[in-house]
Each structure stands twice: as C-alpha cells, then as structure tokens.
C-alpha cells in the first residue's frame, strides 16, 4: 500500500514544471486566449470541468498524456514559454 501511495505521489509531481505565461505577438488575452485554449483542450483530449478532479480525469489527463499534449499545444501557440 505504501508503494502505491509513493507511486501516486511521484506521478503527481512529475507534471509540476514551472512555465512562464506570455502573450503571443499580435494576440490579446481578451480576444484570443479562450479560442486558443479551447482548441488545445479539444486537440489534446484533456478532460476539464466537473470530471477533471475525478479518477476519469486523472487517467485521461495524466496517465494518457493529455496534459502534456495540451501544454505542448499552448507553448506552440505562444501562450507559455
């Protein structure tokens, strides 16, 4: 049981990398953030909303790599550095 707890703890910290917020040239937070963020969520398959804190959200977002695909998309669009 302790090993399982340690594995879960380690996995939860693996995705905790520091990123710096940025506003891409020619875009504004008010006009472009929501559209780009929604597009990246859909492309990555990231679970959000009420299911995100559940086991379904954990499996989809962490175990299947949706969080990583989401961050890669947002970095490519220039929202994070």
Give me the domain span that covers residue 6.
2-76
Mean pLDDT of 11-31: 73
* Residue 38 covered by a domain: yes
Q: Considering the domain boundaries, does residue 6 fall inside one?
A: yes
Q: pLDDT tens-digit profile of 53-75?
A: 888 888 888 888 999 999 999 99
pTM of this structure: 0.67
Please check whether residue 81 lies inside any domain of the structure.
no
Distant-in-sequence, close-in-space partners of 73: CB < 8 Å, separation ≥ 6: 39, 40, 43, 44
The whole-angstrom separation of Cα 56 and Cα 19 is 25
Q: Are 24 and 78 in contact (CB under 8 A)?
A: yes
Please indicate, yes or no, if residue 14 is contained in any of the structural domains: yes
**Total count of domains within the chain:** 1
Residue with tokens 């703890």: 9
- 80 beta partners: 21
Residue 24: how many other CB atoms lie within 10 Å: 13
């Amino acid at each position: 049981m302790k090993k399982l707890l340690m594995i879960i703890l380690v996995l939860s910290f693996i995705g905790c990398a520091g990123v710096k917020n940025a506003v891409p040239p020619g875009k504004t937070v008010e006009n472009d953030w929501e559209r780009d963020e929604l597009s990246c969520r859909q492309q990555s398959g990231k679970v959000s909303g009420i299911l995100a804190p559940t086991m379904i959200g954990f499996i989809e977002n962490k175990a299947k790599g949706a969080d990583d695909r989401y961050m890669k998309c947002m970095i490519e669009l220039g929202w994070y550095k």
